[in-house]
Structure 1
Amino acid sequence: MELWLEEERERLPLWVPVALGTGIAAWFVLPNRLEWLAFCCAMLAAACGALVLPPGGRVRRAIVAGSLLACAGCLLVWAKAMMWGAPPLPHAAFVELTGEVRSVDRLPARQMSRVLVRPVGMPALPSLIRINLDDAIAPAGVGEGAIIRFRARLMPPAPPSLPGGYDFARRAYFDGIGATGRALQPISVLRPATAEPPLRARLFAHILERAPGQGAGIAAALATGDQGAIAEADAAAMRRSGLAHLLSISGLHVTALIAAVIFLSMRVMALSRRAALDWPLMLVAACGGALAGIGYTLLTGAEVPTVRSCVAALLVLGGLAMGRDAITLRLVAAGALAVLLLWPEALVGPSFQMSFAAVVALVALGEHPRFRAFLLARDEGMGRRIARNLAGMLATGLAVELVLAPIALFHFHKAGVLGSVANLVVIPLTTLVVMPLEAAALLFDLCGWGAPFWWLTARALDLLLLVAHGVASSPWAVVLAPVQSGLAFGLILFGMLWCLLWRSRWRWAGLMPVTAGVTMILATPAPAILISGDGRHVAIRTAQGGMAMLRERAGHYMREAMTESLGHDGMPEAMAALPQARCSPDLCAVRLRGGGRNWNLLLTRSGMRIDPAILARDCARADIVVSDRRLPRVCRPRWLKADRAYLAATGGLAIDLDHGVIRSVKARNDEHPWMTRPVDRPRPFRAGQL
């Protein structure tokens, strides 16, 4: 082991952010403070135990350093959660409040704005509230610094609607948002906003005004990172085709901007004989590119991918200015370490995971000797050179798709398959055509001559959307998977890091946990029943592999969440139309097969009062009862009664009837500050017990 670590000594620093991230992940995965303390004690015990190893060895230092870093990561995120987090509103409340507007985030595609409000003179409310304000009722003068008065029904930030879904409550806690709601009329502006909107908002509005055609929202997103003006159909096509990364400001945008600034700076300075002969042109140009990158990061809101890209770009510029090769995995590790120290909560978000995983895959592939030799410049014809470069781009795209697939399956329950092919066309189009044309349009708008460039930008964006919709329409565009366990995801991530960060032949040992994780994913069945946290929406998996929902008029968000959680690609059926269902306007009884037996499911469909005798009779015949209201005690099903009181404590449910396993959004004894304490759940049923 000492010989192996000596061989890999240059790669050991790459594991510093991994060790720190392990402690951060442990705090999110473990449910309560006793287990957090137990983890820290275990890491300190491992560090102390490593001291008995021979002094001076790399194994001893690696174990000590890794254990201390993991303990520090757990304590870091724990301390930040206690000091900077915003406790959520304890319960829903209908209030009339007066507040100061902190920011306004326009969403033209949805004809509304998201307004962050700080309540004035209402200490019982959270210090920051996010309000949805419809454009139709928004008065003039609502902007940063304005004071407004309105009525709203405030709610705590929403937890995931289903197990494995997006946890807005966790993100809102670290963002300082304690409640959400929708503003109701009348809305009074007590003090209008006097200051001009931020530069980002003005740039966003200017691009939407000047850019013609359907791609105006994408043009605004490429410049500002604000995706609020992109039509839902276009956004869905970009996600399905693997092009959604273009819409968030990340490495592509920052790199293109810095490269353009350096190129122009070098050319301008070269016009001066004195500068060309006496000045360190690369150092001066690198400083200009660094300032441009920092300014662009601040302009676009300093999101995690942008900060990571900016930090990495600054390290690259420093290496180039000193004449060193700066495109290494140490650069990526330094960027990850900086983000984790400042925003440890970003680790569990898909943005951090996908951005760093993609960069690690690209750099690791670029460092491989055979890949470098394949792309090395040589004396050959133009056709072969273009073909070799295209093959290199396709290889990098495939590598990125393979690395991002498990992350996308875990967070979004679907992963792109044709993204590498789409990126082969769209990335050069965006980098070499769209972004330069948009930059030229903005520059010439200062003189009022930007219209021709905006027209060319719109045509290039039309081509981009054509590719996105064409790839998205393919039935092989994405692969779907039901809700996955955190263990399978952790095994795959660890195995991929092991393969990518080491160089010796022992790196292929990482394929074992990757194989184990993939096997677990393939062996995980889709849940038979999905129940939303409010009990109104229920979806079941049919015997033919399809999906049926209780309420035919469920909203787009809930339909999409349930279809993705079941791994179903298609429109859901109406539960009342199933041959095994008997439904009335008030109740719906469905028979399901699972675990070698039949299950009787009883669902309420309306708010009408049901005769207690009838309800008691039907509940006694059912194994599972689901309702969006509190059911009386006379309703006693054989196994589970998921009514409003029960679901308020557990959140959404995913039920596997084959194994009798229930997964819930909220876990018992969960002491994370954005969660509420659930009641005891029923003992999981094992096939053959009933």
Structure 2
Amino acid sequence: MGRIPRMITQSRARMNTVLLAQRGGMLGWVPVCLALGIGRYFSLRIEPHPTIFLWLAIAALALIIFSWRVPDALGPLVTGLSLCFIGFILAGARAHSVAEPVLGWRYYGAVEGRVVAMDRSQSDALRLTLDQVRLDRVPPDRTPKRVRISLHGAGTQGITPEPGLRVMTTAHLSPPSGPVEPGGFDFQRHAWFARLGAVGYTRVPLMGAGAAEDGHAGLMVFRIRMAASARIQSVLTGDTGGFAAAITTGDRSAMSRDALDALRASNLAHLLAISGLHMGLLTALVFAALRMALAAIPHVALRWPTKGIAAIGALIAAAGYLALSGGNVATQRAFIMVAVALAALLIGRRALSLRAVAVAAIIVLALRPEALMGPGFQMSFAATTALVAVFGWLREIEQDIVPKWAKPVFATVVSSAVAGLATAPIAAAHFNTIAHYGLIANLLSVPLMGVLVMPAAILAFLLAPLGLDWIGLWVMGLGLDWILGVAHWIAELEDARGYVMGPGPWVLPLLAHGFLTLILWQGHLRWAGGVMMVLSFVLWHGARRPDVLIADTGSLVGVMTPEGRALSKAKGAGFVARNWLENDGAGLSQMEAATLWVTREVIHLSGKRATAAMTECSESQIIVASAKADHLRGRNCLLFDPTTLKQTGAVAMRKTPQGWKITTARQMAGERLWTQWPKDRKDQYVRIKPTKSP
């Protein structure tokens, strides 16, 4: 045998050895492959033609059949490729299945609908989600199935909205907006999967348009939730009552902005979301209580499968908690993870293992592929995977390294540190902040959730039929008061919150792939995952923010300076300004950023008068107008006005030696099911070309 054939044979043998060593952990790679396909679907710039999904389904089936006939080592690779195709198909099928009409223009007029959800906006205004919508002079086939309206101003104090009530008001509505900057959070995509066809606000009172409906299961649960929230807040007032309502019913409408900011600054905001922590604590308490109660009866303990009965009881409690909390995506995800863990107990397997986490991830991705793109999915599965892996590694180490009396404390510290480290990069990437004292806050607060708050919540539920729920709620309030006190104390410390620049598009995928390789791969190649993680942080550190940002309405402009981003306005477009400054990793307020605005290269014309007064411009100038500037179109300067921005969305500009490199939100978001870009018209749209550097 020649040298080259021998080398090929040896390489194939080594590859077979490496791949066969992964056999015991292949299940963990199934959700990874599905996620690759889902991520590929969402990364496309053009919506795939339906026939592509058909061909991919045929290819996936053929690969699965082919995997049975190839050598053992190559089988998993072929199966993995088929799973990538399946993930792509799942994402496309989900996107088409939630298709509903989207409002294609700005609307002002009568709005009527049924209240199906209530929460609060970022400006702390009460916000209603309506279905069975009717709009004045809008045909049913073009009317959104759901709209969301914020109630602003004293004039909204009409009737009190309640679940199922038909209401009417006069409101401003518009299509869900695109990203505030190219590559930013895509609210259009989020609204598409939430089936929101329009968002807006009203400043006039609500009027009743029909009695609250009865008999609908979803509305009955909603009504029970709101009644429970009102009862809790009648016993526990202020932020304590709002906190208690949030973690039991999912109703956050009573939480003040000050309390929410303190919880975020101290890295305790995760306690508000009914997710894995709350669901895990509840089921653990119910499981332990039922098993202890059954064990106390000798006849039952000796003859009945007490572990299975306790697991079924805990699963029923978890399902009830899911319904009471409103069943949002995070809670559904937590329920699935808990259900998988309890099912493992029923069949005699370890409840918390990487296989259980993989099964939960597969179910979530199959049901809601879009969850992959959100921070909730990423953070919860990162934390769970890291915790299971670390405690699995610790079990392999000598058990006596920690004294028995110190093991609970050791487990609390390790779990808080591991979960914090696993989720910190994801939180920083999505929210651009790092809580420097988050570990201290969690060590002082999370144990209290398990030993006091959740047991007290269960006690209140059990005593509610007797009218004694106030006892459990009072105890619960003591724990929540402590947590809120810790949050405010941490938030007020100097440098409690740090700001991080937003990463580039490849940072999080590379970080996730490295993290999963480090945990799931069997053998020395797992350390390549650590290299990938380091590389992702290097890329993050080298990220560069745009030199110029332009809002999609022309209402705000931001120019990067040595002191930070200078904003063209101290007030107005606050949501856009806040997102730009956060993505820059700057701790500036909009007013502080406005004091830096001294640029002459970029001119912002705010309003019709200022736009009309600008009659000439030079080639070196960039003109941004919030009103139509047809009289400047075709001049030497680079012009962005509402006519242009309606076609492009938000704009980012970077200065290069060759001129301005311009990126638009339309280029980044592409032409997808959820994007609502107007059709190009030559009489309205002037194509943007790079200009020479001045």
TM-score, length-scaled by structure 1 = 0.87
Structure 2: distance between partners of 1:237 and 1:283: 42
Shift of 1:203: 1.4
> 1-side partners of 2:425 and 2:89: how far apart?
28
1:191-246 per-residue CA deviation (whole Å, 9 max, x = no partner) reads 22154652222112211221134322111111122322211122122222222211
What do the CA deviations read for 1:258-311 (whole angstroms, capped 9, x no partner)? 122122222333443432332211111111111111221122222233222222
Which of 487, 505, 510 in structure 2 is aligned with 1:468? 487
Corresponding residue for residue 6 of structure 1: 20
Say whether residues 1:616 and 2:615 are aligned partners: yes
Q: Which ranges in structure 1 are unaligned for 5 or more consecutive residues?
A: 582-589, 592-599
* Matches for 1:61-140 after TM superposition, within 5 Å: 61-105=75-119, 110=124, 112-120=126-134, 122-123=139-140, 124-133=142-151, 137-140=156-159
Aligned counterparts, 1:72-471, within 5 A: 72-105=86-119, 110=124, 112-120=126-134, 122-123=139-140, 124-133=142-151, 137-140=156-159, 142-183=161-202, 185=204, 187-193=206-212, 195=214, 198-368=223-393, 371-373=394-396, 376=399, 380=403, 382=405, 385=406, 389-471=408-490
Q: What is the letter of the counterpart of residue 376 of structure 1?
A: Q
Report what 2:524 is aligned to.
505
Distance in 1 between the 2:389 and 2:123 partners?
A: 39
Cα separation, partners in 2 of 1:63 and 1:48, compared to 1, 3 Å: farther
Query: Comparing 658-667 with 556-565, which one deviates more in the overlay?
Result: 658-667
Shift in CA distance, 359/180, structure 1 to aligned 2, threshold 3 Å:
same
Structure 1 pair 410–163 and aligned structure 2 pair: CA distance change class (3 A):
farther
Equivalent residue in structure 2 for 1:548, among 566, 572, 592: 566
1:13-28 counterparts in 2 under 5 A?
Answer: 13-28=27-42
CA displacement at 1:355 relative to structure 2? 1.0
Measure the CA separation in 2 of the matches of 1:379 and 1:337: 36
Cα offsets for 1:90-131 (capped at 9, x unmatched): 111223244344444478993524131312584131122222
Shift of 1:31: 0.9
Give me the whole-angstrom Cα distance separating, in 1, the residues matched to 2:583 and 2:314: 44
SS of 2:323's equivalent in the other structure is helix
8 A Cα contact 1:54 1:60, kept in partner? no
SS at match of 2:371: helix
**Residue equivalent to 1:673:** 673
Q: How many angstroms does 1:468 deviate by?
A: 1.7
Shift of 1:574: 5.4
Q: Percent identity?
A: 29
8 Å Cα contact 2:619/2:638 also seen in 1: no
Gaps of 5+ in 2: 1-14, 215-219, 681-685
> Secondary structure of the residue that 1:158 maps to in structure 2?
coil
- Tell me what 1:584 maps to: none
Provide the rounded CA distance (Å) in 2 between the counterparts of 1:173 and 1:671. Answer: 14
What is the rounded CA distance, in whole Å, between the counterparts of 1:379 and 1:492 in structure 2? 32
Q: Is residue 279–residue 318 contact of structure 2 (8 Å, CA) maintained in 1?
A: yes
Q: 1:402 to 1:106 in 2, by over 3 A?
A: closer
- In the aligned structure 1, how far is the partner of 2:66 from the partner of 2:143? 54
**SS of 2:614 mapped into structure 1:** helix
Q: Which amino acid aligns with 1:603?
A: H
**How far apart, in 2, do the equivalents of 1:636 and 1:573 lie?**
34
| Offset, 1:564 | 0.2
Amino acid in structure 2 at the alignment position of 1:57 = P
Query: Could you tell me which of 678, 681, 688 is aligned with 1:682?
Result: 688
Secondary structure, aligned partner of 2:604: strand
**Paired residue for 2:602?**
601
Q: Could you tell me how far apart the structure 2 residues matched to 1:261 and 1:403 are?
A: 28
Distance 2:196 2:321 in 1: 26
TM-score norm. by structure 2 comes to: 0.87
AA in 1 matched with 2:92: W
CA contact (8 A) 1:361 1:399 kept: yes
Kept in 2, the 8 Å contact 1:623–1:637? The answer is: no
Structure 1 position 151, deviation (Å): 2.0
The AA in structure 2 aligned to 1:606 is: G
Q: For residues 381 and 674 of structure 1, do their structure 2 counterparts lie closer, same or farther at Cα, with a shift above 3 Å needed?
A: closer
- The CA deviation string for residues 444-476 of structure 1, in whole angstroms up to 9 with x for no partner, is 344344445434433322221222223333454
Question: Cα 1:137–1:76, aligned 2, differ >3 Å: closer, same or farther?
Answer: same
- Give the letter aligned to residue 609 of structure 2: M
CA contact (8 A) 1:47 1:63 kept: no
Q: Aligned pairs, how many?
A: 661
Q: Relative to 1, partners in 2 of residues 1:674 and 1:558: Cα closer, same or farther, differing over 3 Å?
A: same
Distance 1:251 1:335 in 2: 12
Instruction: Look up the SS of the partner of 2:629 in the other structure.
Output: coil
Q: Is the Cα–Cα contact under 8 Å of residues 183 and 669 in structure 2 kept in the other structure?
A: no
2:535 to 511, 516, 528: 516
Q: Distance in 2 between matches of 1:260 and 1:427?
A: 15
Decide whether aligned partners of structure 1 residues 200 and 314 sit closer, same or farther in structure 2, where only a CA change above 3 A counts.
same
Partner-residue secondary structure (3-state), 2:484: helix
The answer to whether the Cα contact below 8 Å between 2:155 and 2:203 also exists between their aligned partners in 1 is no
Q: Given that residues 574 and 590 in structure 2 are in contact (C-alpha distance below 8 angstroms), is that contact kept between their aligned partners in structure 1? A: no
Q: Is the 8 A contact 2:344 2:356 kept in 1?
A: no
Shift of 1:601: 1.0
Structure 1, residues 459-495: CA drift from partner, whole Å, max 9, x if none?
Answer: 3222212222233334544443333221222211211
Give the letter aligned to residue 248 of structure 1: A
> Would you say the 8 A contact 2:102–2:143 is kept in 1?
no
Which stretch shifts more, 294-303 or 9-18?
A: 294-303
Quick one: distance in 2 between partners of 1:25 and 1:108? 28
What is the Cα deviation at residue 67 of structure 1?
A: 1.5
CA RMSD for the aligned pairs? 3.2
